[in-house]
Structures are given as C-alpha cells and as structure tokens.
Structure 1
Amino acid sequence: MLVRPKQAAVLRYGWALVASAGAFFISLAMFPLLELNPFLVFLAAVAVAAWYGGLVPGLLATLLCSLLINYFFIIPFYSLSVASLVAAVELVIFVAVAVLISSLNASLLEARQRAEAAKAEVEAALQQAEAAQERLATVALENERLFREASDAMHARDELISFVSHDLKNPLTSIRMLARGVGGRLAATGDPELERLVEPIATVESAATKMAHLIEELEDTVHVHGGEPLRLDRRPVDLVALARQLAAEHQLLTRRHRIRVESELPVLFGRWDAARLDRVLGNLLGNAIKYSPDGGDILVSVARAANGAGDQAILSVRDHGLGVPADDLAQVFDRFHRGANVVNWISGTGVGLVSVKRIVESHGGTVAVQSEEGAGSVFTVRLPLAEEDPRDLPQL
C-alpha cells in the first residue's frame, strides 16, 4: 500500500492554492460555453487539496473556492454580496459539503496511517520471528508475542473503524436531513428557478447516503471477521414500497435511464432488516445505472412465489447494459472481483455484490445473476416469507 509522504507545509498549502486556481480557470473557461454549474468543479478542487494536503489545506481551499464562486460566478458578478435566496442556499450547501469532504479525507488519511503503522509493526515482528527460527524455544515465545500483537492490531483496527463510523454517522445524517428538507421546501415553492436546485440537492443526499452505507458495510465487515453473524433488526417491511422509494431516489440521479417498478401486488410484507434491504436494492440499482453507460430502461420487479420450502418474496433488477462476461459469472459475488469488460474502464471496488450476498444470505435467502455480455443483466433476490402474526403487520 502506498504511503503518502510527509510534505512540507508550503507544499501542503500549495495544493489548496493550485487546486483552487485550477478549478477557477476550468470553470471560467467552460462557464460561458456550457453554462456549467461551477460547484462540482470547485468541490473536486477541495477534495484534491484535502487528500494531498490534509484537513487545514482542505478548509483553506473551501474558503478560497467559496470566495471565487461568490465573486465570479454568482450574480451580482464581481461582488461578494449575494442577491438571491437561491444563490445563498447554493453557497451554504457548497460550503457544508466541502467541509464534510475535507473532514472525511482527513479521517480516512488518519485511519490509513494508523492501519499502515499497525501493519508495519506486524511485518517487523514477523521478520524477527523468521530470524529466530533455529531456536525452537525462542520461536514459540516469539509466535506467542506475534499472536498478541496481531490480535492487538486487529482490535485497534476494529476500534478505529468503530470510532470513525461513530464520528461520521452523525454529520452524514445531518447532511442527509438538511438536503432532504431543503429539497422538499424548494420543490414545494413552485418557482422554476428554485426547482432547478432540487436535483443537485438530491445528488448531495444520495452521496451522503452512499457514504453512510459504506460505513455500515465496514461495520458489518468487522463483525463478520470477528466471527459474529450480522445482527438483523427484523421488522415488518413492505418490499413493494421500498422498491418504489429507492427507484424514485435513483431516478433523480440519472437522466439517461428510465427506472420502472412492476408488481402485481399492492404490498408485500415480510420481517426483514429494512436498512440492509435498502442497501441490497441500492447496490443493485447503482450497479444497473453504472454499468449501463448508454442509458436505457431499468426494471425492478417484486413478486411472490411458492415452492417446496414455502412462500418467497422475489425481487429482481434488470438492465440492458454491458452485462457480465461468461467467464466472470461464477466469481461475480467474490470479494474484489470485477468483470474483465469493465475493470479498466468503469471505476468500482468489487465489494458491493459481496455485501448484497452476505445480507441476503443472513436473511435466509439467495441471490443469483443471469447475464449476457453486451445485452444486460438480471439480478434476482429470493427472501423467505415466514408466517406472520397479523398483529405484527401494519394496518392498511
């Protein structure tokens, strides 16, 4: 793993200046041609400054970028005054997201440095053990010491993940609630100029949701590696309503795709973990969008079926995108595995489907894929429907 070297203070703060200046000239060049909203370009500049410089350079870049945006790209131009509520809301949201990006990068860098330090200690201990192999008694004592150090390192890693997740969940929740509230109020105004902001605000909410899901996956990974099963919060969940909600949320993130939900059932209740099923369907919809770069229809189907083992809820997501090569189908749910047709083209981590499989199987269900390269894929989730006590189900 690459380790970011310690940089001189001048160089670290130089990242903030260079990134801000670069974003400014890019936005200045493209703004009159494409009527480009400059916020995303300046957010990228903040991310670069925070990643290479750290928290304070990231905050400095936030300040510089917000001043540049206000002075050059918000009416009235060449003034630091803000003439409209829309501009004020945009600027406040930009600053909030930029500060969050800087904080997240700082936390991630600190986590990486601690993990690398722990790894270096373990590797050094292993080298010492190899040097002492000729003496059996020493080897036994050394192995015991190494085991303790490895356990301590794993414990430190788990504590670090718990610490980071705890500190990030609250601000992420605040960002999501703020974005959802602002978006709802703007959509209800009936003002076309304000309604233009609903989609970018929905993008902010979606990004915060994805980060929250990533944190939850890290927490699940800690539990699984510790030999613990996933702790499911089983409650009555309407799978039809969940599918419609997530389809609507993802539709706000794309204009090239048309996401539809089909179900002959008005409702389909089961006792599942709603938050984790949200992650399952969110992963499948996100992949369907990502791996259909030319757009097209995405169909989410919800049905109920019976087999020898009892009734099942069937949830499927169909796209018409790149598909999965035949040689990769058997490994599609393996950790870090990615299809040969996308690995050098479309970014990804190769862990999303691993999380999907783990969550579905923890519910006693199965997940499968049918795919043809160049024609699209169908991911099908089957979840058991246990007999429900009518008192447990919501009254319609």
Structure 2
Amino acid sequence: MRKLPSLRLRLVTVFALVALVAAVSVSGIAYWLTRDAVLTRAQNAALNDFRKSLGDHAGALPENATCDDLRGMAAAVANNTMNYQVVLVDDQSEGPICTVESDPTVFKLDMVPTALIEAVHERRDDDTPDAPYHLYWQRVSLDGDPYLIGGTRVLEGGPTAYTLTSLAPERDDLNSLAWSLGFATALAVIGSVLLAQAAATMVLRPVQRLSDAAQRLGEGRLDTRLEVRGADELAHLTRTFNSAAESLERQVRDLSNREAASRRFVADMSHELRTPMTAITAMTEVLEEEVDSLDPMIAPAVQLVVSETRRLNDLVENLMEVTRFDARTAQMVLDDVDIADQVTACIDARAWLDAVEVAAERGVIARLDPRRLDVILANLIGNALKHGGSPVRVTVTEDTRDGRDEVVLEVADRGPGIPEDVLPHVFDRFYKASASRPRSDGSGLGLSIALENAHLHGGEISARNAPGGGAVFTLRLPRDAGQPGETEADAEADAECVTEAEPDAGDVPRQRTATEPPTTAPASGGEGKETR
C-alpha cells in the first residue's frame, strides 16, 4: 500500500491547486475578453476610417480615371492617422487593368487572400439592393506579425480598394497584459501557499500536540494531559482526549491494584501451602513405601492420595514460578552449556531414553541457564510424549542466517497433531483443549512456563503441525543470553523455591524429599497441556 504524504503537504498542495485553477481561469477569461475588445476596437477604427476616406476621395475621381488618378487617390487615402496602406484596382474600364499601391514595399495585391478577393467581387442584391458590395476583412499573419486586411468595391463603377493595417501595437499590448496576468497568477499561487502554510500550522500544531500526547500515553505515561485552548472543535477534541486519558489512568490503576492483589494472593497462598505440603509429601512417601503391607482395600486409596499429593505439590511450585515471572523477579544463572549433553541429561533423568530419539551433535555451546533450559526441554518432550506418543524426535541445529547466532531445538512427535482452533492457545495458562475434560493430570501451566523461560533468555517457542502428521515445537535461543549471572545468594534463594516437579508424562522418577540430593538440575513443574 502506497504511503500518503503528510497532511501539511496535502493541505498546501490543495490550496496551491485551487489558487492556480482560480487564477488561471480568471486570468484566461480576462485575457480573452480584453483581447477581443482590443482587436475589435482597432479593427473597427481602421475599417471605418478606410471606408470614410475612400468615400471622400472616390467622388473626386474623373469619369474616365487613369492610373495616375488612381495613384493620387491611393496616396491621399493612405495619408491617414491609422497608418494603413492601400491598393486600388481598376478592373471596370475597357482598357487594361490598372493596379496601384500606396507603398509597394509594404502592401501588394498578391498579399490579399484569394477568399477575400472573391468575397469583395460577389454581388449581394438580395441582402441590400442599394449596396450590393460589402466591406470584408480578414486577420492574417505576415512574417510573424499580425495584420488586418480589408476590401470593398467603390460604387458606380469605381475601383476595388484593399487596405492593410498592422495589429502589432495591439499584439504588444496583449503580450504585456498576458505577462501581467501571469505574474499576478504566480503571486496568487505563492500567496495561497503561504496562506496554506499558516493555516496548516494553525490546524496541525494542536494535532501534533495531540499526537505527542497520545504517544506518551501509549508509552505508559498515563498522567499525560493537554492544555485546553479556545472553544473550537480542536479544543473539544482536547477535552475529549483528557477525559479519555483520565478514565484510562483510573481503569489501569484499578486493574494494576487488582493484579497486584491477585499476585500477592497467589504468592502468599503458594508460600503458605509449601510448609504443609512438605509435611504431607513426606507422609505420603512413607505411606507409599508401606503400601505393600497395607490392607488391599486401603492400598488403592493410598496410591490415589500419593498421586494427588504430588500433583498438588507440582501445582503449588508452578504457581510460585508463574508468580515470579509476573513479578519480573525471575533470575538466571548463566553458564556455558553443551546443548547435546543437556538434552541427553534431561531425557536420562526422566527415564525417557527408550521413547525419545536425539539428533544433536556435540560441541554446540551456548551461554544459558542450564536449570531453566532443563525446564523447557522437560515440558516440551513430556508434552510430546503425553499427547503425541513416541517416538519423539529432538533435533538440535544452528541458525546463523541474516546475522543471527541462534540454537534451534525441534521436538516432533508422531501424534495426530494440534487442531487448528487450539494451535493459537497452546501456550495459554490453564488452557484445556476440550471443555468436556476440564480435569487432567497436568495443571495447564507447563508450556506457558517453558515459554516464559524462553523469553527470559531472549528466545521464542512456536508450535506447528508437520505436513506428514504430528506436532512440532520449535525452540530458538540465542547463543548468549547476554544477562549477568545472579549472585550465589540469589541463586540459592531462587532454587530454594523450586523443587524437582517433573512433567506428568512418561516414566517419571520418584520425587525427591527435602533431604535427598537431586539427580539433575532442579526444574519447575512441566505438566503437558491437553492440546490434542
């Protein structure tokens, strides 16, 4: 789509075009009216004087006038204040045709157009019986100069007379008028441009102020207000903007307060649940160890209590992790990680070696947080195993195109794929693909936590369906997360809040107790979402 020019340029252009069209129209009309009036006045003056002078001198000719008589008449007629020349032709006598010119160097008979000669010799008794011959005229251009040629027959056997009058003075006057009108048109256009600039400035300055204020408002400065000036439409628009900004600030403040209260509630609830959950988890593990010695009627209930306790414990840990992401307090401990080793360690720690194929070359090193990378891998692979089925294939490649330096991990399964209506929501928190199955083994937070960890590294996770079937999750991480590592105390404090809550898929090793050393880097919960 072609980008339109600025509003100022469009206003100036419209003003200039309107002024140009108006000025050219007025100047053109004035020029043509003036031209017609000037030429008509000059033409009538020359022809009337020619007719009068011809009539005065024709009566003095003898009955059988000779060429000398005609020459004297031509000189007398040409002696006038209008500066026209005369040609007399005596073609009525019985002798040879006599043609005389008042000034042969200026005007000769062969300069008279043939059409004018024919018109002069044509009798028109039906129109005016008393004057069968009329005075005719024609404007011509000779050597680039304008002239008026007129002709008529002298009555009662007189000669035929032609006159040549120069229209150069009138042409010069009209050229001066044209230049004056052109100069006036240019001044009108320039004036309209200056006027348009002033009008655009008056109109656009408040619009620019409003635009700047809207930009500041969009940047989060909700206290932005504009000074109301005047009582016109722009002032009304400014009042409307101030009212909208005030309403927006009030609503955002209310939403922020509610969101902060919700985060505090979830954090406090999760924190308060950790102590009883630790005790409950220890007790359920003791019961699990003694399940073989319990009454067969009680054993299934014990197993249910154990599984649900683990699920509740994972949910609490996931909620605490989500709270850290929302509060922007999640930190990273960066280290140089061999991606292939990290993938293998993640799969081995969860006993997924028989269900996962790994296509990764050793030596692909990236500076990342190994614990958070383990969380991402556990959630993606666990989700693929749970919903897509084995074998799951994990591929590690490098992407250095267009100046990028990224590590790309793809987790592909052999399942039916993700429905198109579900695909945009796979990373949403607590999203369930089927409303008829609101309860699942997972909490619906695993993929969202994986995405948040990827964003923390400056990376991204995307999901798509493979052409041959199955879902493909693509993780892109920069080679260097570029963030300074947290202090040892911060790392210990952050790790203290995260236990090894594995994804609810595949063969999951027994959850460690508070006194057991972890077999791998601690990972936050990674429940697979019900996306298919």
- TM value normalised by structure 2: 0.33
Query: 1 or 2 for the larger relative contact order (CA 8 Å, sep ≥6)?
Result: 2
- TM value normalised by structure 1: 0.43
Larger Rg: 2
